[in-house]
Structure 1
Amino acid sequence: MTPNGTAIRAIRAVRRMSLRELARLTRLDRGHLSRLERGLTGASEASLHRIATVLQVPFDDLVRGDDEPATDQPPAREVPAPGTPEGELFHYTPEEAARWLPWSAAWLRRRARLREVPHNRGGGLITFTGRDIGEISAMTAIRPEHAEPPDRSPE
């Protein structure tokens, strides 16, 4: 049983009820309800029953069946590898770019905001092209100054 945060938010909006009011009437934390509506957290069956009672809807309207896809999350998209011709100019989200780099999406966003790594800002969103990922990889690679090549002589 998975809470349907989109349904909770929509029903609350139709009832013209603020998040603060729903929190007060259900005696649940407003931050928790906000995260629940955005699909970032779950809720106990008892909490969902309290929400359903306050919103005056059947309990089943607030849960998603296990076979239903989560509509709160965008569908996964086909992502080419950055080193391929298709990936060279493809725009990757920080989460997608982090799959090919040894840094987290948060690290990439932070460095992009500080303008320390190449990135794009189309529509206010931070993205990285395959070229950007290659440059970031090259500029942040750890290179020892005086490394000896490995001994490859047979023993």
Structure 2
Amino acid sequence: MAYILGVTPHGIAIQALRMARDMSISELAHLAGIHRSTLARLERELTDTSGNTIRRIADALEVSPADITRGEPVSTKTKSSPRAVPFPGTDEGAYFHYTPEEAASFLPWSARWLRERAYRREIPFNGGGRRVTFTGLDIREISGRTAIRPESEQRKRRTKRAAPAAA
């Protein structure tokens, strides 16, 4: 089954059809199997919803989905394409906020690994709105912290550290 995302409901049409049938928001929400507050937000056009929810509301109102969606064909609406993500090393990418899934495409770790380390405050991240995101600068710092150095470079570091101690 294809998932249908981002359908814009026509809140006035939903409300008019509901009132014409002398139904309360709670009654329609119960028939459609959604929460009352969700239906209220849809009627006020404060949110978009999935095609499945639109179909359930349309079934409860006994109308076609096109009657409550500004004429959008619900059955052919597809998931939007992924957003354009700049490379973290560019000027544009330095302050771009990447999801853990997007950041994982630039790092050798999974999105889950990045999220878990961020929650433990082991790696730099941005936690605005309880969502973990990474800027390009964060991705570069994570990459630098966890990079595996060539053996010759590791030896140089050890000898530099050891030399002042011996003197």
TM-score, length of structure 1 as denominator length: 0.53
SS in 2 for 1:133: helix
1:131 to 123, 126, 137: 137
Corresponding residue for residue 147 of structure 2: 141
Q: Which residues in structure 2 correspond to 1:63-142 (within 5 Å)?
A: 64-66=74-76, 68=77, 70=79, 76-142=82-148
SS of 1:109's equivalent? Answer: helix
Deviation at 1:143, TM superposition (A): 5.2
Please say which structure displays the higher CA radius of gyration. 2
Which has the larger displacement, 78-87 or 128-137?
78-87
Instruction: State the 1:38 CA deviation.
Output: 5.5
Q: Is the 8 A contact 1:2 1:65 kept in 2?
A: no
In 2, the alpha carbon distance for the partners of 1:123 and 1:96 equals: 18
What percentage of aligned pairs have identical amino acids?
48
Task: Tell me the distance in 2 between the aligned counterparts of 1:135 and 1:100.
Answer: 12
CA–CA distance in 2 between the matches of 1:84 and 1:6? 34
- Given that residues 97 and 135 in structure 2 are in contact (C-alpha distance below 8 angstroms), is that contact kept between their aligned partners in structure 1? yes
Which structure: greater helix fraction? 2
Cα separation, 2, equivalents of 1:55 and 1:104? 44
Range with greater deviation from structure 2 (15-24 or 54-63): 15-24
CA contact (8 A) 1:4 1:64 kept: no
Cα distance in 1 between the residues matched to 2:5 and 2:93: 35
* 1:50-71: CA deviation from partner (whole Å, max 9, x where unpaired): 76432322154575253x565x
Runs of 4+ in 1 over 6 A off after TM superposition: none
The answer (yes or no) to whether the contact 1:82–1:130 under 8 Å persists in 2 is yes
Q: CA deviation at 1:126?
A: 2.2
Shift of the 69–78 alpha-carbon distance from structure 1 to 2, 3 Å rule, reads same
RMSD of aligned residue pairs (Cα, Å): 4.1
User: Matches of 2:93 and 2:5 in 1, distance apart?
Assistant: 35
Would you say how many aligned residue pairs link Structure 1 and Structure 2? 123
Residue in structure 2 matched with residue 22 of structure 1 by the alignment: 32
Relative distance call for 1:20 and 1:142 in structure 2 (3 A) is farther
TM-score, reference length from structure 2: 0.50
Q: CA deviation at 1:82?
A: 0.8
Larger relative strand fraction: 1
Deviation at 1:145, TM superposition (A): 6.3
